[in-house]
A and B are shown apart, each in its own frame.
Chain A
Amino acid sequence: MNYYQQVFNATHEAILIQDAETERFIDVNRSALEMFELTREEVLDMKVEDSSLGQAPFSQQQATEWFRRALDRGPQIFEWQARKKSGRLFWIEVSLRRSELNGQTCVLALVRDIDQRKQAEQELKQSRQALARAQNLARIGAYSRDYQTGQVHLSPQLCEIIGGEPFSHSLDFFLSRIHPEDKDQVREHIRAAHENERDYDLEYRLVRTDGSICYIHDRAVLERDAEGRPLRVFGTVQDVTDRKTAEMALHESETLYRTLFDTAGVAILLFNNSMVVNCNQQTLNILRCAREDLVGKSVFHQAPEYQPDGRSSVEKGTQLIQAALTGKPQFFEWRHLRKDGEMVDVEVTLNRIDLWEGRYIQAIAHDVTERKQFQGQMRQLRNLLKNIIDSMPSILVGVDSTGRVTHWNLAAQRFTGRTLEEVLDQPFSDYFHDLGPAMERVSAAVADQQLLKLEKEPLNKDGLWRYLDIMAYPLMSDGMCGAVIRMDDVTEQVRIEEVMIQTEKMHTIGALAAGMAHEINNPLGAVLQGAQNIERRLTGRMPANQQVAQECALDWASLQSYLHARHIPDILEGIRESGSRAAHIVSGIVQFGQRGSGHRMQCHPVELIESALELAAKDYDLKKQYDFRSIEIRRELPENLPSVYCIPSEIEQVLINILRNAAQAMMSPPAVDQPMIILRAFRQSRFIRIEIEDNGPGMTEEVRRRVFEPFFTTKEVGIGTGLGLSVASMIVTANHKGALSVESWPGRGSKFMMDLPMEGAV
Chain B
Amino acid sequence: MNPAGTCWSVLLVDDEELICENLRLYFEDEHHTVHVAGDVSGALAVLAEYNVDLAIVDLGLSLDNGEELVRRIAVEYPNTGILIHTGTVRYQFPPELYDLGLTEEHILYKPIQNYAELSRRIYNIMNKKPV
A→B interface (CB under 8 Å):
514, 517-530, 532-533, 536-537, 540, 542, 544, 576, 579-580, 583, 586-587, 590-591, 594, 597
Contact = CB atoms under 8 A, between A and B. Distances in A.
B22 interface: yes
B113 A522 contact: no
Interface string B39-80: 000000000000000000000100000000000000000000
A591 B89 contact: yes
B25 A533 contact: yes
A581 B121 CA distance: 22
**Which 6 pairs across A and B sit closest by C-beta, in order of nearness?**
A526-B18, A529-B22, A525-B111, A521-B87, A518-B87, A590-B89
B19 interface: yes
A542 B30 CA distance: 9
Nearest to B85: A525
A537 B89 contact: no
Contact of A594 (B26, B90, B111, B113): B90
Contact of A536 (B18, B26, B60, B89): B26
A586 B115 contact: no
A519 B60 CA distance: 10
A586 B89 contact: yes
B89 A525 contact: no
A509 to B, nearest CB: 14
Contact of A517 (B16, B26, B89): B89
A586 B87 CA distance: 11
Given A522-B19, A542-B29, A528 B112 contact: yes
Contacts of A586: 89
Interface string B11-41: 0000010110011011001000000000000
Given A583-B111, A590-B89, A522 B29 contact: no
Nearest to A517: B89
B115 A532 contact: yes
A530 B18 contact: yes
The SS class assigned to the B binding surface is loop
B103 interface: no
B115 A522 contact: no
B89 A526 contact: no
B57 to A, nearest CB: 14
Contact of B111 (A521, A536, A542): A521
Nearest to A593: B89
B118 to A, nearest CB: 9
Nearest to A535: B115
Interface of B: 1, 16, 18-19, 22-23, 25-26, 29, 60, 86-90, 109-115
B94 to A, nearest CB: 16
Contact of B113 (A526, A540, A583): A583
B26 A525 contact: no
B19 A526 contact: yes
Contacts of A536: 26, 29, 115
Contacts of A590: 89-90
A522 B16 contact: yes
A440 B79 CA distance: 82
17 contacts: A518-B60, A519-B87, A521-B89, A524-B110, A526-B111, A527-B111, A529-B115, A530-B22, A532-B26, A532-B112, A532-B115, A533-B25, A533-B26, A536-B115, A542-B29, A576-B113, A594-B90
Given A529-B26, A530-B18, 17 more contacts: A517-B87, A517-B89, A521-B88, A521-B111, A524-B111, A525-B112, A526-B19, A526-B22, A530-B22, A532-B26, A533-B29, A537-B29, A579-B111, A587-B89, A590-B90, A591-B89, A597-B90
Contacts of A523: 18
Contacts of B25: 533, 537
Nearest to B60: A518
B2 to A, nearest CB: 12
A520 to B, nearest CB: 8
A533 B25 CA distance: 7
B89 A522 contact: no
A320 B108 CA distance: 105
Among B87, B109, B114, chain A packs the most CB atoms within 10 A around the CB of B87
A373 to B, nearest CB: 76
Contacts of A594: 89-90
Contacts of B111: 521, 524-529, 579, 583
A524 B89 CA distance: 13
A537 B109 CA distance: 24
Among A522, A523, A544, A586, chain B packs the most CB atoms within 10 A around the CB of A522
Given A521-B111, A525-B111, A529-B111, A544 B89 contact: no
A528 B19 CA distance: 10
A529 B19 contact: yes
A593 to B, nearest CB: 9
Contacts of B23: 529
B104 to A, nearest CB: 11
A591 B90 contact: yes
A529 B20 CA distance: 10
Nearest to A520: B87
A523 B22 CA distance: 11
A536 B22 CA distance: 12
Given A579-B111, A579-B113, A514 B18 contact: no
B113 A528 contact: yes
Contacts of B113: 528, 576, 579-580, 583
Contacts of A527: 111
A530 B89 CA distance: 21
A522 B110 CA distance: 7
B50 to A, nearest CB: 23
B18 A518 contact: no
A579 B110 CA distance: 11
A587 B86 CA distance: 13
Given A537-B29, A580-B113, A525 B16 contact: yes
Nearest to B114: A532
A634 to B, nearest CB: 33
A575 to B, nearest CB: 11
Contacts of B19: 522, 525-526, 529
Contacts of A597: 90
B88 A517 contact: yes
A533 B111 CA distance: 14
A527 B16 CA distance: 12
A583 B86 CA distance: 13
Given A528-B111, A580-B113, A518 B88 contact: yes
B111 to A, nearest CB: 4
Contacts of A583: 111, 113
Contacts of A533: 22, 25-26, 29
Among B16, B29, B114, chain A packs the most CB atoms within 10 A around the CB of B29
B114 A525 contact: no
Contacts of A576: 113
A588 to B, nearest CB: 9
B87 to A, nearest CB: 4
Nearest to B115: A532
A95 B14 CA distance: 191
Contacts of A532: 22, 26, 112, 114-115
